[in-house]
Chain A
Amino acid sequence: MGLRKVAIVGAGITKFVRRAEETGPEMSYLAAKMALDQAGLKLKDVEMVTVGSAPDAFDGVHMKGEYLLSGAGGNNKQYIRNFVGGGTGVFAPIHGWMHVASGACDVCLVVCSEKMSSCHPHPQGAFLTIFDHTTEQPLNPTLIWIFALEMRRYMETYGLSKTDIARVSVKNKNNALDHPSAQVAEAVTLEDVLNSEVLAEPVHRLDISPASDGAAAVVLVSEDVAKRLTDKPIWIDGVGWNLDTAYWATKDLYYPRYVEKAARMAYEMAGITEPQKQIHVAEPYDPFDYKELHHMEGLLLCERGEAARLTAEGYTARNGNLPVCPSGGALGVGNPIAATGLMKVIEIFLQLREEAGKRQVPGKPKVGVAQAWGDLMQVGTVIVLRR
């Protein structure tokens, strides 16, 4: 039994907005419809559906997968929801890959939908219960609080300044000006980021992606079907994921070892031995600006501690040697958690098809990587796509 090849043949993304009028199922429908239209398929051609969405607490709906089912096209089909916290958006197409690569089906619809705005007064509230109820919740930690710790540790380890980190936010928010789904694209300057409101030192408001509503979808098919549908299939060449301990306070936070493990798993499958040379475009997860740097290092796209210097030199700009987050990333396009991860996979898909419009990176990229991250500084999900 040889490995079955799996291709992405269609993709759709809704607008990412602070507060969508549509419900979660409705946004799922919109994204799924766009993806199927691009693939030239109808819902009846879809055999199985896998859905990704972050915690149920955003929507306040128990068994959210079942709630999203009708909108995501799951009626009378094999339908399941996969879930690895913030890493879900890149894990969902990995889940779809399992469906097709195993021979269980030839056409699998992957939908990621997130509606954070239902959570009042702010979706941060949904994160209060991610912490251990005995050892952590009594401290009243927030996500921004723990990421301030991580950011500080990263800066300290490599002697980085706030300016080194803020360049990522400037790059991504400017990149997003060309993304039709973007929520917080803005021609910001370094000054703007550095002078924005302090949330938990060293994290300022413009270091962080916003809370968003949005959905994204892709259609995955087997090799035979791909060849019938398109002359530009984009192949899933490698998949990897990895989950670290829940006891995050016992780890050194300067380096995401779980991302490296996930990346190595995906690279091994894709036959990538020198990621710095063999990968042409990357979409690491950037919910905070330092996270892009952290993740570039975890993805082995540069040496440890080098990512900030490369960013300053323009190496990661859209026309740089290794364009990173040409989409605008979570910082610019917005961050409806699971949909963001899939948006990143879709950006690589579009870049490899040379259909990214104004966002197109030069040099006809052949191989790209997308990555998401989540939980308590814990999970890395990595997918390698090839033209």
Chain B
Amino acid sequence: MKEGVAIVGIGVTGFTSVSPSLSFKEITYSAAVKAYSEAGLSPKDIDSFITASEDFMEGYSIFDEYVPDQLGAVLRPVQTVTADFLQALGIGYMMINTGRFRTIAIEAHSKSSNIKTLDEVQSFALDPVYLRPLKENSTFLAGLEMKRFLKDSGNTEEQCAHVVIKNKKNALYNTNAAYGANLTVDDILSSQPISLPLKHLDVAEPADGAIVVVLASHNEAKALCKNPIWIKGIAWFSGQGNPWSRNLCSADYATLAARKAFAMAGITNPIKEIDFAEVCDEYSYKELQHLESMGIVRKGEAGFLTENGATGLDGILPVNVSGGSLGVGHTFEASGGMKTYEAVLQLRNQAGKRQIKDARVGLVQSWRGIPTATGAVAILSNE
């Protein structure tokens, strides 16, 4: 059996700021139907199913109960990982490599518009002994980290604003994006302070949506699909788990995950060998920090490159052509999935107005958000 794992079907619903007429089951169902029909499979033909979800975001305890029905996965091997979609993709990749599974479906969704008190829910992620007594909204950690990152790397608040401008502008070309806009540096710098230097427009707004991907082994992919998208490398890593003993300047999880994913994919000079990157930009500074931490650009240069268009649609390395989380919307556990969707469209030459010419290799990166130091990197290719 030849080694290799490929995406042979993908479906999304969304992404929208609200979805009042649909339940999480309905958005998941419609994404699953699209993914299965692309792969030409019935859910009965799929060997196992993985969902990435978190109980508190769903409003259920033991949310994995509600996974199988709308995926066509009743009485089948279904598991949940409380992780980002990209980590679930990594588990699916592993399962196929055990040799006991040929096809795997992976699902993630966000129905964050159902959550009345999103900030409070997220603050429940703070350590109950060390951090909750501070009685702060969890976003204060992002403000602290941004300040530290800017000071140490030499990037500036204006350069972070250019990330927002670029991504929200890219989103105008993406029909699946909820937050496209034409903004100026002043708009961003003068927006409401959240936790300085973090301001309102530096933060990605929540969105609803679902994604389902079908993975297949090498032989299966060749048989099923004319344009399989291969996973060349995938890794997830956690840095220091406790925020109070963490180095806030760099994103260690991104460094470690990228190093491993590059090694798996045989990439030695990322900026040359990668045609585009979909990078976690839940906060504007995170895009810069992640590009530097992954070793794609040198420390302190990401802001300058962004300001000068190097990460724009026509730049040396287009970053977040989809619009990123800033432009499409932040979809929590599905974030890595939203970015994987963009990468698959680009690599299949189906991205329409925002298509990158001759895209062959794409990078997708995710981060689990405040207060975590967990993230993943995947290298996808159409060859």
Chain A interfacial positions (CB closer than 8 Å to B): 1-4, 23, 54-57, 59-67, 69-70, 74-86, 91, 95, 97-99, 101-104, 126-130, 132-133, 240-247, 257-258, 261-262, 265, 269, 374-376, 378-379
Contacts and interface: CB of A to CB of B under 8 A. Distances in A.
A130 B55 CA distance: 10
Given A66-B374, A85-B64, A242 B91 contact: no
Contacts of A98: 91, 94-95, 98
Interface in B124-150: 124-125, 127-129
Contacts of A99: 94
A382 B100 CA distance: 16
Contact of B66 (A1, A3, A103, A246): A246
Contacts of B65: 85, 130, 246, 375-376, 378
Contacts of A103: 97
B275 interface: no
Please give me the 8 A-B residue pairs with the lowest Cβ-Cβ distance, nearest first: A69-B241, A70-B241, A62-B124, A102-B97, A243-B78, A102-B94, A55-B61, A62-B125
Contact of A83 (B1, B73, B82, B240): B82
26 contacts: A2-B99, A54-B62, A57-B61, A62-B123, A62-B124, A62-B125, A63-B82, A64-B82, A74-B238, A74-B241, A81-B81, A82-B80, A83-B80, A84-B64, A86-B62, A97-B98, A98-B98, A102-B95, A102-B96, A104-B97, A240-B77, A243-B68, A243-B76, A245-B69, A246-B65, A269-B100
Given A62-B122, A130-B60, A70 B80 contact: no
Interface string B199-236: 00000000000000000000000000000000000011
Interface string B154-185: 00000000000000000000000000000000
B10 interface: no
A79 B374 contact: yes
Contacts of B78: 84, 241-243
A241 B100 CA distance: 13
Contacts, number: 187
Contacts of A126: 61
B256 interface: yes
Given A63-B368, A69-B238, A102-B97, A91 B79 contact: yes
B79 A82 contact: yes
Given A67-B125, A375-B64, A82 B81 contact: yes
A246 B77 contact: no
B191 interface: no
Contacts of B76: 242-243
Contacts of B59: 129, 133
Contact of A246 (B69, B125, B241): B69
Contacts of A76: 237-240, 252, 256
B87 interface: yes
B77 A70 contact: no
B54 interface: yes
Contact of B127 (A67, A74, A81): A67
Contacts of A257: 75
Contacts of A127: 61
Contact of B239 (A75, A85, A374): A75
B258 interface: no
Contacts of B75: 242-245, 257-258, 261
B54 A62 contact: yes
B326 interface: no
A105 B296 CA distance: 26
A238 B191 CA distance: 57
Given A244-B75, A246-B67, 13 more contacts: A60-B128, A61-B125, A62-B57, A63-B372, A70-B241, A78-B237, A79-B374, A83-B64, A98-B98, A101-B98, A104-B94, A244-B74, A245-B68
Given A61-B124, A243-B73, A84 B237 contact: no
B364 interface: no
Interface in B311-337: none
B54 A56 contact: yes
B222 to A, nearest CB: 16
Interface string B247-274: 0000010001000100000000000000
Interface in B327-373: 368, 371-372
A140 to B, nearest CB: 15
B3 interface: yes
Contacts of A104: 94, 97
Contacts of B235: 78
Contact of B77 (A54, A57, A97, A265): A265
Contact of B79 (A57, A78, A79, A241): A241
A325 B95 CA distance: 30
A67 B238 CA distance: 12
Contact of B237 (A61, A77, A241, A247): A77
Nearest to A57: B61
A331 to B, nearest CB: 21
Best-buried of A80, A82, A126, A242 by chain B (most CB within 10 Å): A80
Given A77-B237, A261-B75, A57 B256 contact: no
Contacts of A261: 75
Nearest to B236: A78
Contacts of A265: 77
B368 A130 contact: no
Contacts of A130: 60-62, 65
Contacts of A246: 65-69
Nearest to A337: B62
Contacts of B129: 23
Contacts of A54: 62
A262 B75 CA distance: 9
